[in-house]
Structure 1
Amino acid sequence: MVSVADKFNRYAAALGVGLVLAIVLFLTTSHKPVLDPKHPLCEQRPYIEPEYGHLANSSQFVSEEYKKKSVELFAGAIRIPTMSYDDLAMDPTKDERFNVFKDMHNYLFKSFPLASKHVETVNTYGLLYTIEGTNPSLKPVLLMAHQDVVPVNNDTIDQWTYPPFDGHFDGEFLWGRGTSDTKNSLVAQLEAIESLLSQGWVPKRTVILSFGFDEEITGFRGAYPISRLLHERYGTHGIEVIVDEGIGIVPFGGSIFASPAVTEKGRVDFKILLNTPGGHSSMPPDHTGIGIISELAFELEANPLSPVIQKGSVVEKFFDCMGEHAADLKDSERKKFLRSSTHDKLLPILESDPATRFIVKTSQAIDIVQGGVKINALPENVELQVDHRIAVHQNLDDLRSRMNEFVKKVATKHGLGLEFDGKTILKKTPLGSFNVSTFGGMNTAPISPYKGEVWDLLAGTTRHVIDDVIDHPYGPVFMAPSLMTANTDTAHFWDVSENIFRYLPVFMSDTNNIHTVDESLNIRSHISCVVWYYEFLVNACN
């Protein structure tokens, strides 16, 4: 049997939060917090119980009768193979592989007829639902998800316990591609909206749902045009709050922690081309182009970026919350998590595990190397591509400067020229030259406030839903703001709202195998999402 910690590790590593909690599970023993409650490092906000008025309360969704209905709605979406491929055309009308999204639309329009009265399409397959509020002075709320899923490798289909697009329900888990990422949230949002509309609900605040169709391949066909349309309609930061997919709820140390990501790491990739004279391999130079670029790769990997926990950063706040509210954490271990920017006790723990180190450092991955076409011909052109996910304490300029430094070092050693992003650093020589270009550059996302009215709304709704409505075997929930080490569709919405939260109200222990064989989700967490979206909308819009 797979342990709770193992299940969390798989999902958290895929989404980017890492194995922080799994590590500390080995460090815990029964012990009560001994902190000063008058000066908390991670203050918790009060519960918010919705004022329903004529509306049914959220307990309607936890009945066995509703669960059966919800399973079928969720499973129906899983049965539609809306896979995104890296080589899809930028124009969705020019690639027939997008046609499957027509089936997805037909299913959603039929399954959620009241919500579908409020939908429009953007760039053919993007879906934008707008339920107009009665008070135009209130900024809208925006819930997001994406319709697409990562492809299933045909070579792995026989490894699945149940076929990836059957939407099989075993009485506890729904199996299939997209159950965890992220048709769960898409369907749950529509379930909540459909229920509200069926009761004659008219929100004071406008409610918007945005469903892109290419998030798994950067979102420029789906989320990007939707974001530009919303910016045109509502202006810069004209949306009150955005909630998209992200980190969920994690059991740890006698408590559970809801960890909305208030930022996400930046990204930059470098394409490094090296041109050297060709010739017959019977008369090679001391170092061929492949040898030289391999030396550069070695230098980069031999000098990884350093981990840092900045004082006052969301990373430090995340660990403060763990240390302060994990009821069973031993005092000696609690000190490692509290005020972690002021000592070096926590960094070695994080650095020792590949899945946790990138919470506190910029990642570097050499993903592509190409060169040579024939065994007896010296390569004239070789290429190296390096991917980085930028930590919160660094930026694009830091990474450009670092890459320039390493390439310049190798170029100088071998008497080569260097051009970096169109600027000549070293003049070309007869021996050859490097040409480095930056692409995919994006700094760390702006940090959304984790105090104030919007955070209180998010936190208060979560605490009420998880502690008072959903049945689970864990202790009370605490809020712990975090960061995403991967990127979401929200990357296109930075100028649309100042309050962007990447958050799924699911129990991480209920998720299995995101992006791989036997992806599945416990239906308890799907119901948790339905309840959360329902209460969040009532709290935000009534």
Structure 2
Amino acid sequence: MRVVGRIALGLAAALIVLAAVVLVRTFAFKPPAAADTAAIEVAAPIAVDVAGAAQRLSQAIQIPTVRHQDRAEDIDAEWTKLHALLATNYPAAHAAMTREEVASRTLVYTWPGTDKALAPIVLMAHQDVVPVTPETARDWKYPPFGGAIAENAVWGRGAIDDKGSLVGIFEALETLAKQGFKPRRTVMIVSGGDEEVAGQGASAAAALLKSRGITAEFVLDEGLAVINDNPISGGKVAVIGTAEKGYGTLRVTAKAAGGHSSSPPADAGGVVNLSRAVVAIADDPFPMTFQGPGAEMVKALAPDAPFMVRMAVANEWLFRGLLAKQVGATPPGAALLHTTIAPTMLKGSPKENVLPQDATAWINYRIAPGDSSATVMARAKAAVGDLPVTVAWNTPPNEPSPVSSSSSWGWKVVAATAGAVAQAPVAPSLVTAGTDSRFLTPVAKDVYRFQPVEFDLADVQMIHGVNEHITLGNLEKMVQFYARLVLTAAR
């Protein structure tokens, strides 16, 4: 009994020590991703002609620069109209910059800096938009390509993604050029013409920069935004993407003899084998791990989060598994912590009473940093085992981007400006979709993905959806952010 008592006392003492360590670490916790931006003197706000900016964005929305999966459906003349509109609406900016056009109507602007020793900054915003499906057109409050200015907002396809950013950048640079601003650091704009179809415009722009030996100090593209009701702290936060996931679609095919459905084969047939393969792949998900940009966001927001969240983050060594489980409890949270697997398309027989000679499924992957297309392929092949199917990439996959710094000078400038405009804390995170900026990673020290617009989480559904619009308040923040960013980085 004495031995048991000593063991119990020892365990109690150990638990007390553990609890003390946990509490000390909790109260002393400082997020590692929160780089000190105090040394960055963010430029003062500028005067913004919001009504004029709204009119000019409306005009841009009325030009339907729609990219289709079948590029034969694209209307090249719409890009010609948009380019002419930009030149007409922003004469001072165009006088200050040179303009070049590369593949897929992609534009590259350069505003030369006075100090050639300084690496340039690159601002990105694409020109193209996704189609509006005919069956949803009647669900829009205002015509999707009407550019209506109503209810304190500009409505239409591209208002957020991404003509809002494009117009915001030009409004900012036009204002600065009219004021006689001369940048010390070269400022560039890369405006992709085919981002929505993962085209080659931005890649061609990157090749142009590489041919000239240009390495940007930082690149800034679309991606993340200011979230009013983030689920970690419940408050407002400016979330900046420091990386984005890779993209790839596997094609899984099951061959079969085919024939008439009245005499199905005893060995199950192609559709059944394909089904088994798809289920096997989907039932073997990539594990969620509390690491990478998604985890860095949680760490950055932990000081403003409820006590239990702070305690878990401060003692990651003890609660790492629990953190992964809790963050990954929702699909958006899970997408931050692992490579996702999404079966999306199926093809079999063209007729209900015909056995197909081959059945095919397409499985879309968003590949997290730390994984690769090779690890995806190996996991899929291991999952299907000896099932009689073939597994191949539908098209060459895109690898996940490198993770940009959350402590460099570029990060500090972007984060400080975002925080000043949003009046909110700033956190790094992971972009789970794809942007044109991934093509510029070889010609930039850092690549960031952020739009200075405020959303509730529910608002995100309108991007690529129905009733896309940008409020006049958010449009003003766009112009303020880009102007103050350029002034801060290039003065």
Q: 1:437 to 1:73 in 2, by over 3 A?
A: closer
- Structure 2: which amino acid aligns with 1:269? T
Gaps of 5+ in 1: 1-32, 52-56, 90-94, 412-432, 468-476
Query: Which segment drifts farther, 201-210 or 42-51?
Result: 42-51
SS in 2 for 1:194: helix
Following the alignment from structure 2 to structure 1, what is the Cα–Cα distance between the partners of residues 141 and 87? 30
Counterpart pick for 2:141 among 155, 158, 161: 161
Asked whether 1:524 is paired with 2:469, we answer no
Asked whether 1:298 is paired with 2:247, we answer no
Following the alignment from structure 1 to structure 2, what is the Cα–Cα distance between the partners of residues 257 and 108? 32
Following the alignment from structure 2 to structure 1, what is the Cα–Cα distance between the partners of residues 317 and 196? 34
TM-score for the superposition, normalised by structure 1: 0.79
- What number of residue pairs does the alignment pair up? 458
Asked whether 1:227 is paired with 2:183, we answer no
Residues 274-332 of structure 1: per-residue CA shift (max 9 Å, x gap): 2222333333212111111111112222332221113xx322221111112x2xx3312
Q: Is the 8 A contact 1:262 1:483 kept in 2?
A: yes
Q: 1:338 to 1:173 in 2, by over 3 A?
A: farther
Counterpart pick for 2:129 among 149, 162, 165: 149
Counterpart pick for 2:163 among 183, 192, 199: 183
Following the alignment from structure 2 to structure 1, what is the Cα–Cα distance between the partners of residues 33 and 177? 41
Residues 66-107 of structure 1: per-residue CA shift (max 9 Å, x gap): 221121122221121111111114xxxxx6622211111121
Following the alignment from structure 2 to structure 1, what is the Cα–Cα distance between the partners of residues 152 and 115? 42
Counterpart of 1:247 in structure 2 is: 224
- Structure 2: which amino acid aligns with 1:466? A
Counterpart pick for 1:465 among 409, 421, 430: 421
Q: What's the % identity of the aligned pairs?
A: 28
1:300-339 → structure 2 map (5 Å cutoff): 300-310=281-291, 313-324=292-303, 326=304, 329-338=305-314
Residues 325-356 of structure 1: per-residue CA shift (max 9 Å, x gap): x2xx3312433444556422233333332232
Counterpart pick for 1:450 among 385, 403, 406: 406
Query: Which segment drifts farther, 36-45 or 382-391?
Result: 36-45
Q: Is the 8 A contact 2:46 2:483 kept in 1?
A: no
Asked whether 1:108 is paired with 2:86, we answer yes
- In the TM superposition, residue 44 of structure 1 has moved relative to its aligned partner by 4.2
Q: 1:38 to 1:82 in 2, by over 3 A?
A: closer
Counterpart of 1:123 in structure 2 is: 103
- Structure 2: which amino acid aligns with 1:110? T
Gaps of 5+ in 2: 1-24
Counterpart of 2:260 in structure 1 is: 280
Q: Is the 8 A contact 1:266 1:391 kept in 2?
A: yes
Q: 1:255 to 1:156 in 2, by over 3 A?
A: closer
Q: 1:479 to 1:408 in 2, by over 3 A?
A: same
- In the TM superposition, residue 136 of structure 1 has moved relative to its aligned partner by 1.3
Q: Is the 8 A contact 1:316 1:340 kept in 2?
A: no
- Structure 2: which amino acid aligns with 1:104? L
Q: Larger % of helix: which? A: 2
Asked whether 1:362 is paired with 2:339, we answer yes
Q: 1:370 to 1:290 in 2, by over 3 A?
A: same
Q: 1:196 to 1:350 in 2, by over 3 A?
A: same
Residues 198-220 of structure 1: per-residue CA shift (max 9 Å, x gap): 12222111111111111110031
Following the alignment from structure 1 to structure 2, what is the Cα–Cα distance between the partners of residues 455 and 341? 27
Q: 1:96 to 1:535 in 2, by over 3 A?
A: closer
Residues 116-155 of structure 1: per-residue CA shift (max 9 Å, x gap): 2322222362111111111111111100000111111111
Counterpart of 1:404 in structure 2 is: 381
- In the TM superposition, residue 364 of structure 1 has moved relative to its aligned partner by 0.8
Counterpart of 2:441 in structure 1 is: 494
Following the alignment from structure 1 to structure 2, what is the Cα–Cα distance between the partners of residues 482 and 96? 34
- In the TM superposition, residue 381 of structure 1 has moved relative to its aligned partner by 1.6
Once superposed, what is the RMSD of the aligned Cα atoms? 2.3
Q: 1:282 to 1:364 in 2, by over 3 A?
A: same
SS in 1 for 2:397: strand
